[in-house]
């Protein structure tokens, strides 16, 4: 095989591997989902804000992996999982990110087994919240549910 052909094959393998890594990060574990809107914020949220959070609990790895998509809110400054039922605010339990991000955001973050066990047992007691510069207490949010 020529050197040029070898480089082409290697480049193709690397490209396929890059596509598979995000998919592998979201395989296995307990699947949760949240539909996010500004209307679900207890204070004033982004009126036209929408989003979706797909979450996988991976307690053996002490990770939570997520795909977060949003629109109508501009750039997000932070997001995570908070304790709190539908009409309750609460403390952050898992930070997805705390620096500006555009949609979509796909990542895995550290989360201890105890927190994950509580979220898995009663996902509706937790919500995903996305904050922006304009809405520092929350632009959009939605309750977690099993998917």
pLDDT tens digit string along 24-55? Answer: 445 678 999 999 999 999 989 999 999 999 99
**Structural domain includes residue 74:** yes
**Structural domain includes residue 125:** yes
**Structural domain includes residue 90:** yes
Residue 19 has pLDDT above 90, yes or no: no
Average pLDDT for 60-74? 97
Residue 2 has pLDDT above 80, yes or no: no
Beta bridge pairs of residue 32: 55, 146
**Structural domain includes residue 2:** no
Residue 83 has pLDDT above 50, yes or no: yes
pTM higher than 0.75, yes or no?
A: yes
> What pLDDT does 43 receive?
86
Which of the residue ranges 5-14, 19-28, 52-61, 120-129 would you say has the lowest mean pLDDT? 5-14
Range of the domain at 75: 30-146
Count of structural domains within the chain: 1
Helix (H) or strand (E) holding 38: none
**Structural domain includes residue 139:** yes
* Beta strand 105-110 pairing with 63-71: antiparallel
Work out the mean pLDDT of the chain and round it to a whole number.
87
**Structural domain includes residue 15:** no
**Structural domain includes residue 10:** no
Token pair 């796909």 is at which residue?
106
Output the CA–CA distances (angstroms, integers) from residue 131 to 7, 31, 114, in the order listed.
44, 23, 25
**Structural domain includes residue 13:** no
């Amino acid at each position: 095989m020529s050197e040029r052909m070898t480089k082409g094959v290697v480049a193709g393998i690397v490209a396929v591997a890059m596509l598979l890594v995000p998919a592998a990060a979201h395989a296995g574990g307990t699947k949760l989902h949240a539909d996010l809107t500004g209307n679900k914020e207890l204070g004033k949220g982004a009126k036209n804000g929408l989003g979706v959070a797909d979450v996988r609990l991976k307690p053996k790895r002490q990770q939570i992996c997520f795909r977060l998509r949003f629109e109508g809110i501009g750039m997000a400054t932070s997001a995570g999982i908070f304790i709190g039922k539908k009409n309750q605010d609460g403390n952050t339990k898992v930070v997805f990110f705390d620096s500006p991000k555009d949609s979509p955001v796909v990542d895995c973050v550290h989360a201890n087994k105890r927190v994950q066990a509580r979220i898995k047992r009663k996902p509706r007691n937790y919500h995903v919240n996305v904050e922006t510069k304009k809405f520092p207490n929350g632009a959009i949010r939605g309750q977690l549910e099993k998917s």
